[in-house]
Amino acid sequence: MKSMELALNQIRSSSINIRLILLGLVGIILMVTGGFLSKDSSDTKSMVRESNRINVTASPAARSYEENLEARLANLLSQVKGAGAVGVHISLENNGLQENARNVVKESKTVQEKDNAGGIRTTTETKESVQVLLSKKDGIDKPIVIKETKPIIRGVLVIAEGATDSIVKSNLIKAVEFGLGIPAYRITVLPQRR
């Protein structure tokens, strides 16, 4: 009986040792990778930031996604023949979603115990830890974004000088419909006050 208990203890300690070695290797890999990432050139970091940025031209005053989209759309619509000066308002349903890169470590431990009556009790303990991966720029930690969902557009209001002409109005609706990928019933085009 003692030899069996001794064998079980050796198995438990060897499996724990293997887990500790694996965790140590994972830790070393993370430290090496972290050191490698912090030593990367600014080009690599700018590529990560560039891919995670919203595809809108940056302005000196940090404007929101909505404001940038409105400005770009107004600029494009003002180039439509007969449109004249154009103002745009975009209504968003939400702010979009970002999925951040995470480091998930799961650890599971199973223990079997025998009692004096010969019964076996099995206990399983599971631990999970989650860390959001960060990148550092100018001394500021920011999460690494792996997926970004842009906000859903609820509706668009366009106010244009030339909207009194039905052809210009139709062209503006088609341009917004095509440019933003939203149906025509979510677009309102009104003439400017004179």
What pLDDT score does 40 carry?
Answer: 42
In this prediction, residues 88-111 reach a mean pLDDT of 85
CA 147 to chain centre: 4
Q: Which domain holds residue 106?
A: 99-136
Residue 170 CB neighbours (<10 A): 13
Give 146's contacts (C-beta < 8 A, 6+ positions apart). 99, 100, 101
Give domain status of residue 127, yes or no.
Answer: yes
Range of weakest confidence among 22-26, 90-94, 170-174:
22-26
- Tell me which amino acid residue 168 is: V
Residue 106 predicted with pLDDT over 80? yes
Which residue, 93, 95, 94, 102, is CA-closest to 133? Answer: 102
Evaluate whether residue 49 is within a structural domain.
no
Question: pTM for the complete prediction?
Answer: 0.48
Find, among 51, 53, 50, 48, the residue nearest to 65 by Cα: 53
* 60 part of a folded domain: no
Tally of structural domains, the chain: 1
pLDDT for 170: 92
Mean pLDDT of 168-190: 92
Residue 187's pLDDT is 92
Q: Render pLDDT for 36-68 as a digit per residue (tens, 0 to 9).
A: 444 444 433 333 333 333 333 333 334 588 888
Q: Look at residue 186 and tell me if it is in a domain.
A: no
